[in-house]
Structures are given as structure tokens and as C-alpha cells.
Structure 1
Amino acid sequence: MALITLHNISLAFGAAALLDGATLTIGERERVCLLGRNGAGKSTLMRVINGDLPPDGGEIMRRQGLRTALVTQEVPAGIDGKVFDVVAGGLGEQSKLLADFHRVSRRLMDDSTCGLLDELGRLQKRLEETGGWELHQRAEQVVSHLQLPAEDQFSTLSGGLKRRVMLGRALVADPDILLLDEPTNHLDLDTIAWLEDFLLRRDKALVFVTHDRSFLRRVAGRIVELDRGLLSNWECDYDTYLARRDEQLAAEEKQQAEFDKKLAREEAWVRQGIKARRTRNMGRVRALQQLRAERRARRERSGTAALQVQEADRSGRLVIEAQHLSYAWKDLPIVRDFSTTILRGDKIGIIGPNGSGKTTLLQLLLGELTPQQGCVKHGTNLRIAYFDQLRAQLDENRSVHENVAEGNDWVDVGGRRRHVMGYLQDFLFPAERARSPVRTLSGGERNRLLLAKLFTRPANLLVLDEPTNDLDLETLELLEDLLVEFAGTVLLVSHDRAFLDNVVTSTLVLEGEGRVGEYVGGYEDWLRQRPQIAPPEKTQESKPQRRPAKERARKLSFKEKKELEELPGRIEALEKEQAEIHARLSDPDFYRNGGGDVAAIQERLVAVEEELARSYDRWEGLEALTEG
């Protein structure tokens, strides 16, 4: 059954129409991936579906009572409050009730006055009447899995963490259509794996935009491409889509070439003189006019970026040698007794959870940060180009042109002098866009601009910190090819699993407590090689345990089969205990018995919820082993 149908939708900003007769239907439980070049209008289409942006023309038919939620690339303005309250805000009318209950429960841990007890009792009654306990649990689980600091003020968070909070807000809302615009940006690998599993279990519709090919391959059930204002539907997987699209574009190119030849013949005919336009040939003249009109109306496909690194003279064979590096931040070990040797031509991936210290490790290796123990030695003739994930190298108030050429009109690229406007066209910046200030650019355009600026500098060591965020897939694959062919050395921080697999020759993994593991190959190779370490026992203050990557399908052992049979009963018992604890904590009389009991039961609740999360993960892991 259709949830929403868009028919012949048109929408334009300026001269070019982003949507030009677009038609789309989204059904129940569909998982649709929306693909298209940067600037094609994908984010605009998501806003149209969400009802934020009315189209200029066409018809939108929504199922009565349809609920949608959109997570945009940019964080909306005007949001404040604690993180838990912002996430719970996705629950609509009950959000304030849940936020108040959460606040009073926290205060009662330190203060059990009668006023607070009475307020908690009133809130408990309202939650019971409205079915709020299930919603409260859902909000807490999302906060836990996305590793969000529930008690922090939203306004104090980084941009990436704010986007994760907004993702959590949309997930708890559980809308009929969930709209996600680049949801994997700023998520670490374990959180991406959890999000994939969450979306696959979810039985409601999903529309998402992504550059993450691994995420796309696993989650998408259908692909819709936005190209030149029109939508095309592809009922196939991503790799089949690529092959069929290339065939379609080749056929389109051939058809257009034949059309252009015919138009050229007719133009030559009409220029023969007035005799060629006598009355009996006026039909041919009118046909020529129609051909001209069709040619004017044709929208050309966007060009392809022309990426080229300026390779400096070769570095020495030794690029970086690190010996027994150690570095800690406020007694938290980031790197401990780490040694490695990086040689010319190595392409090193660096992965780890958010906040684990990937950028810190880069700075230590580059000599920008002094280790507290150990030393770093650099080889000879190093020329470094650094891609900063925060894009701090870009001046927001200067134009695209000025950022690349530093106020000049010419740049030296590949040993020859080029006008900056022509160079920027290689990175898909037309003249009018090249004169725009950087603050008006989309995320993908900013990344392309930073690459354009980076590649004006001769380099034999490329340092790329999350370069793939917001790039469209075609530009991403061009960058991938460029790095594979680059004769120099690459240090690459990325959460894009396919990108890592296709580029790097070895991987450094920040494994916690200062351990840095070194593995041959990319992400998939690391999954096969990594040691299976039992997770440590957690305290109430420790971070949520991250979910292990899914194992490959195999037969279960006798012990695993028995465990799989027992897990549903264990989960049911834990959920029952969890519900009983919630009921006790919601009873005002409970707090009159003293603070010691309150602390103990709160601690038991944390332990139960952690054990429940581990049991669900183990259940899903064992089920996955039986698939395939």
C-alpha cells in the first residue's frame, strides 16, 4: 500500500529545475536509497517528502495520518536542553512528560523530599495512562546505542555529535517514513553496524541518501536515482544498478549522437537558400524548428570531476618510524608503547571508535604533537598535504576562487600554469559557483573544494582525515582510483568500509586502553584477523559496550545451539525484572525507605539493561551464524 505518491513534481531555485516532472511512490516497509550527484536535489526531494518544502507544481498524495521524520545534514537551529530531552522530543506530546520523569528520577537519587516524591507519583500515573514506559525505554536504548551523553547540554556538543542526537530523535519517533540524509557521517564503525541492524529490523518505510556503499548494499531494498530533475526506479542491488545504468547511459549517448547528426543535416539543408524553403518544404522547416526546440530543452548530464594529485619528488624509502610511542589525555591512555614503520608507497588506514584518538595518532605520527614517551623519526624529502575533516583550512567568508588561489588568478598544477576558473571546473565548480562564498556551499561541495585546494600542492605523503563525508558516489570512486594509483604514501582516517578495503594496504586500529593494533589489508581483512577479546565488565559510569561485527555464517556448535535455545527465556526474564524495577522506582513510597535502597536498585537497573543489551546482541549474532 502506498504511503505517499509524488506525481509530476517540479521545483526550481534559480534557472535550473532541481525537480522537473519527478514521480515517486513509497510503500509500506520499503527501504529506498536515493542516489544522485552532489547538487542534483536529493536533500531538496527529502524536504518535499517530509512536507517542509512545497513544490512549484505537481501533486502529492499522502496517506491520512502519515508521520515522517527527517534527519538533515545540517543541524536545525533553535534546539536546546539536555541530550536526553532533545532525543525524547521526537516522541511528540509525550516528550515533555518523559523529560520531566527523567529529570525527577535523577534528582531523587540525591534528594528524596516529599515534593519530589509527589511529583514523581503524578508523572508515573500519567506515564501509565499513556503507555509511556515503553517509549521511555525506547529513548534510553537509542541514547545508549548511539553513545550519547544524556545529561550534557545539546548546545555544548560538537557538530558531529549534534547530528547523532538528531538521528536519535528521529529513531525514537518511529515514523511511518524515516528520512535519513547521509546517516553514517560522524558515526564510528560499530555504531554504523548497529544502525544497519536497527534499520533492517524496523518494519516501517525508510528513504535514505548515502555515499557509504557497504551501508547501501546491506540496507537498500530499492534504488531511486535523481538525475537532471527526473527520478528513475531500479529494482535491484547496487552492483546490478551500476551495470544497468551504464548500459542506459551508453544507449542515451548513442541516441543523442544520432539526433545531433540529424539536426546538423537539417541545419545544413536550410542554409542552402530560399529555394529550400518553398511551400512544399515548409513541413520540413517546421520539423527542423521542432528539432531545435528539443535540443534546447535537453538537459546535459553533469560532468565528472577530474581529480589529479601533484606528485612531488619521491621521498626516501623510510617515511615515518615510530618507536614506543605513548600519549595520554587527562590520565586516559590514547596510545601506549606503539611502534611502527611506514615505507614509501604504503597506504595506511586508521580506524577506531569516535573519540578514541585517531586524529591524535595522526598528529603524533606527523610530529605535530610531541609524544609523552617514545620518538618519531621522519624520512627525507617529505612533502605533506593534509585533508582536515573539520575543513579548518577553508575561509568561510572568502569565495571558492579565493580559497584555492589565495587571491591569485593562476595556479600551478602538474608542472603547468592554469587559470583558477578552469581548474575549478575540473572539480565541478562552474564560474558562478566559483565566485560564491564558501559558507553557501553544501557539505559535498566543501569536500570537493578542499580536495581542489589540497591537490594544488605537490605532495608525496597524503594525510586524509575523513575525506569521504558528503561526496557523491562517482566522485568518491574517482578519489578511490586516484589514491590507488598514487605513487606516494597515504595515511587515511575513514569509517567508509568499502573505501578502506579498496585503498589501504594495512590498517591501524585503536582498540582501547592505548592499544594500537596493526593488521594487513583493509576493514574486512581486519575483521578476519582481529583477536576475539571478551568484553570487560562495565561499571555504571563506563561507556556502553560496542557491538561486535557480525561473524560469517557457519554451523553452530552444540553449546551455541543450547545457548540459542535458552536466550529467549533469559531475555524474557530480564525484561520482566526491568519492568519490575521501573515500577519500584516509580512508586513514591519506595523512596521513603532511604537513599541506600535507591542507589542499589538504580545500580541493579543499569546492570539489567546492560545484560539485556548483551543478550539481544548475542541472540542476533547466533541467529546470523545460521543464515546463508
Structure 2
Amino acid sequence: MTPPLLILRNITLCLGDTNLLSGAELIVSKRDRICLVGRNGSGKSTLLKIAAGKVDADDGERYVEPGATLRYLPQEPNLTGYETTRAYVEGELAPGDDPHRAQYLLEQLGLTGEENPLALSGGEARRCAIARTLTSEPDILFLDEPTNHLDLPAIEWLENELKNSRSALVLVSHDRRFLENLSRKTVWLNMGVTQQIEKSFTAFEPWRDKWFEQEELNRNKLDRKIASELHWLNRGVTARRKRNQGRLRALNALRAERRNQKAFIGDVKLTTTEGNRAGKLVIETSSIGKTYDGAPIVRDLSIRIQRGDRIGIVGPNGAGKTTLLNLLTGALTPDEGSVRLGPTLQMVLLD
């Protein structure tokens, strides 16, 4: 068995009065494929940053094998200070790295290398950051939400690139298919503590659900035991007998154990409340068009959207999906044509 490349033991971190991490652990060995999962806000990105050496823990042990190389892809890359995308990507090159790989990665991801980093769309900035991270093949790659803002061809390319990589991978992602296809181990961060199963993300949810069921059974068993002891206490026993003193101490210990237990958080269920029902028409456009810098983004689009329709807008990064959505909702005025919104329309936008 090869020695681990990285070990985190008993990692703790507090944010204000909140114990975000309280004994979290992570072990990464050569060629590992680990997905780090947990609820939003559970501390996955923070633990990833601690593992990558970007954030210091309040307490705990972090060991990295001498000479091991690490690369980290943040959720929100900072591209300021670079004149071109090529300069940004080449900024991560180390001595001995192939200088041509930066341009190769940019081209594979649909960039030329001459773009202004500050003028990139969200998807283009993400692709640029991925190219920077992959310019060399480190011992461990830490990837935080790598598929954010990527279109389907870019996700498929990245997945194939990572499958062929010799680096160990530690992934945080909300893309279930991406995790299922790449992971071989799953680390679950729950209430500040990690648990690991030697299986891919595909097996995680059934395992987690069984864990929740067992925790609930244990909790109910403890509640019944406390109720039984309280019944004994309420019969008016004397605390002067040594045997009764021991039983009272045991009851207090059970109460303390129950107080310290954290109830698990179940699945979120979203419901919508229906306001005043609008008319049948939602949006109608007539030959709308929009151009940026001489390039047509939307051209001669006529569409009628009615109540109950479900429409998906798809296309590569930079194709104009957000621009089209803004045109349809009235947030942006078309250069030509017209947009008509339903007279009693109530609109909610989630960006």
C-alpha cells in the first residue's frame, strides 16, 4: 500500500460562534478519485481550501508528503492583473512544464489566448481557470465546482481529461453525473465531521439514508431510556442511597448525551404559492434582434410563450443565452422588433 500524499486529521475551524469543522479528516493517496459531498454551507469548500493549503485550520494536523505538488481550482477565479487569457494561464507554469500546453488547453476550451480576462463571460472565465489549473499534472488536483458555468461540450471534455489524468482528484460539485463518472471514493461532511465510504457517489445516497435511519433509531432508543429513568425518579426515590446516587448520575449523563445530539437535517422540499393568476399570454416577441460590436446575438426571433409552458434555453458559453433571457423579460431593450408581456404578469428571476 502506497503512503498517503496528504493527511488531514481532527481539523477544526470556527466562523464566529459556529463550529464549521469539528474533527474533519481527509486522506488522499496516489490516483485517488474522491468526491467531497455535503449540504450547502457544510464547509466543503473550506475543507478543500485547508487541504490545498489556502486556508489555515484553527486546530488539527495537516501533512503533505515532501515534494508532492498540489493544484487548486477555486469557485471564483481572480483574473485581474493579466492582459490576456494566455498570460493568465501561463502564470501557473512551473519550471519544467510544457510551455505549449497552455495554448493547447485554451484552444481545446474554445479560447484563443488573446481575450481580455476582464471581458469574459462566466463560462469563459471558468474555462480559462480550468486551463490554468491543468497546465501541469500535479500529484493532487483540488477542484471546487469545476463544471459551474460550463456548457455540455466543455463538461464532457473536462470529464474525459480528468479520467485520463494521473493526478489524484478531490472534487466538490453539484453535478451528480460528473461525480458518478469520476469518483471512486466518497467523503461525506456532515455537521463538521467527515465519514468515508470506499465507493463512488452512485452508492452514497442509499448509504446515507441508512445512516440517517440508524441515527433516528438510536435517538428514539435513548429517549425511551430517559423516559423510563424519569418515571423511576418521579416515584419519589431517595437520593441518600448509594445505588440511587449512581442511577441519578447515569440519568444526568443520558440527558447530557441527548442535549449534545444534533438532529439530522432532512431533504429540502420546495413549494410554491400561487398568486393572482395571470392571463394566458406570458411573453410574445415579434422579430426581435440584438447586436453587440457588430455581431448578431439574437436575430429575427418571434416566439409566443403561454402560461404553463416550460422552455429551456441552451447553447455554448457566450452564445447569448443570458442576453436572450433579458430581452424576453424586458430587462434589455432589443435593437429591433418588439416584446410584449402579459398585462397581469408577475415575474420572479433567479440568477
Q: 1:84: which partner in 2?
A: 86
Return the alpha-carbon distance in structure 1 between the equivalents of residues 130 and 22 of structure 2. 30
Residue 195 of structure 2 corresponds to residue 232 of structure 1? yes
Confirm or deny that 1:60 pairs with 2:62: yes
1:12 corresponds in structure 2 to: 14
d(CA) in 1 for partners of 2:240 and 2:16? 39
Q: How far apart, CA to CA, are the structure 2 residues paired with 1:327 and 1:70?
A: 38
Shift of residue 139, structure 1, vs aligned partner = 0.8
Partner of residue 41, structure 1: 43
Deviations 1:472-511 (A, max 9, x none): xxxxxxxxxxxxxxxxxxxxxxxxxxxxxxxxxxxxxxxx
How far apart in 1 are the matches of 2:239 and 2:295?
86
Among 57, 72, 75, the alignment partner of 1:73 is 75
CA contact (8 A) 1:27 1:205 kept: yes
Q: Give the alignment of 1:360-379 within 5 angstroms.
A: 360-379=323-342
Q: Paired residue for 2:349?
A: 386
Once the two structures are superposed, the pairs formed by residues 529-540 of structure 1 within 5 Å of their partners are none
Measure how far apart 1:198 and its partner are. Answer: 1.0
Partner of 1:408: none
Q: Deviations over 1:421-441 (max 9, x none)?
A: xxxxxxxxxxxxxxxxxxxxx
Instruction: Give the letter aligned to residue 25 of structure 1.
Output: I
Deviations 1:61-103 (A, max 9, x none): 32221111112223359754532122112123x4xxxxxxxxx
- CA shift at 1:231, angstroms? 1.2
Question: What letter corresponds to residue 312 of structure 1 in structure 2?
Answer: G
Cα drift, residue 293 of structure 1: 2.7
Residue 57 to residue 386, structure 1, CA distance change in 2 (3 Å): closer
Q: Which residue of 2 aligns with 1:32?
A: 34
1:379-424 deviation per Cα after TM superposition (whole angstroms, max 9, x unaligned)? 442211122x3xxxxxxxxxxxxxxxxxxxxxxxxxxxxxxxxxxx
CA–CA separation in structure 2 for the residues paired with 1:336 and 1:239: 43
Instruction: Report if the CA contact (8 A) 2:137-2:166 is conserved.
Output: no
Q: Which residue of 2 aligns with 1:145?
A: 108
Take 1:162 and 1:359, find their aligned partners in 2: how far apart are those partners? Answer: 15
Q: CA deviation at 1:273?
A: 4.0
Please say if residues 85 and 113 of structure 2, whose CA atoms lie closer than 8 Å, have aligned partners that are also in contact: yes
Cα displacement (A) at 1:279: 1.5
Residues 1:319 and 2:321 are matched in the alignment: no
Is the CA contact (8 Å cut-off) linking 1:82 and 1:152 kept in structure 2?
yes
Task: Tell me if structure 1 keeps the 8 A contact 2:284–2:339.
Answer: yes
Counterpart of 1:262 (choices 225, 237, 249) is: 225
Q: Displacement, 1:161?
A: 4.5
- The secondary structure found in structure 2 opposite 1:173 is coil
Matches of 2:236 and 2:42 in 1, distance apart? 43
- 1:54 Cα deviation after fit: 3.5
Whichever residue aligns with residue 343 of structure 1, its letter is Q
> Do residues 335 (structure 1) and 335 (structure 2) align?
no
Question: Aligned partners of 1:282, 1:344: CA distance in 2, in Å?
Answer: 70
**Tell me, what secondary structure is at the counterpart of 2:49?**
helix
Q: Give the AA of the match of 1:320.
A: I
Match runs of 1:281-360 below 5 Å: 281-302=244-265, 305=268, 307-360=270-323
Instruction: Determine helix, strand or coil for the equivalent of 1:386.
Output: coil
- d(CA) in 2 for partners of 1:270, 1:160: 65
* Cα offset, 1:285, TM superposition: 1.7
How many angstroms does 1:348 deviate by?
A: 0.8
Distance 2:331 2:299 in 1: 18
Deviations 1:299-339 (A, max 9, x none): 33346555333322222233233343333323312222333
Tell me the distance in 2 between the aligned counterparts of 1:175 and 1:153.
27
Contact 1:228 1:300 in 2 (8 A): no
Which moved further from structure 2: 282-291 or 155-164?
Answer: 155-164
Contact 1:82 1:150 (8 Å CA) reproduced: yes
| Aligned partners of 2:126 and 2:150 also within 8 Å | no
CA RMSD in angstroms, aligned pairs only = 2.6
Q: How does 1:121-520 map to 2 (within 5 A)?
A: 135-148=98-111, 150-154=113-117, 157=120, 161-273=124-236, 275-276=238-239, 278-302=241-265, 305=268, 307-387=270-350, 389=351
Q: Aligned-pair distance for 1:269?
A: 3.1
Decide whether the 8 Å contact of 2:124 with 2:318 is kept in 1. Answer: no
- In terms of mean alpha carbon deviation, does 277-286 or 302-311 score higher? 302-311
Structure 2 gaps of 5+ residues are none
How far is 1:206 from its partner? Answer: 0.7
Q: Is the 8 A contact 2:283 2:306 kept in 1?
A: yes
Distance 1:281 1:158 in 2: 71
Q: Cα gap change, 1:289/1:368 in structure 2, threshold over 3 Å: closer, same or farther?
A: closer
Distance 1:304 1:79, change over 3 A: farther
Q: What is the TM-score when the length of structure 1 is the normalising length? A: 0.51
> Contact conserved, 2:11 with 2:61, CA < 8 A, in 1?
yes
SS of the residue 1:351 aligns to? coil
Letter in 2 for 1:137: H
Which residue number in structure 2 is paired with residue 462 of structure 1?
none
**8 Å CA contact retained: 1:321, 1:378:** yes
CA distance in 2, matches of 1:339, 1:157: 29
Report the Cα offset of residue 155 of structure 1. Answer: 5.0
Label 1:357 to 1:229 Cα distance change in 2 as closer, same or farther (>3 A): same
> Post-superposition shift, 1:24?
2.4
- Cα distance change, pair 76–272 in 1 and its aligned pair in 2 (3 A): farther
Rg larger in structure = 1
Are the equivalent residues in 1 in contact too, given 2:151–2:316 (CA < 8 A)? yes
SS of structure 2 residue aligned to 1:90 = coil
Q: Which amino acid aligns with 1:221?
A: R
Q: Please state how far the C-alpha of 1:283 moved relative to its aligned partner.
A: 2.1
Give the Cα–Cα distance (whole angstroms) in 1 for the partners of residues 10 and 326 of structure 2.
52
Aligned residues: 349
SS in 2 for 1:326: strand
* SS of aligned partner of 2:289: strand
Greater helix share, structure number = 1
- Which amino acid in the other structure matches residue 259 of structure 1? L
Aligned-residue offset at 1:162: 4.2
Secondary structure of the structure 2 residue equivalent to 1:43: helix
**Deviation at 1:26?**
1.5
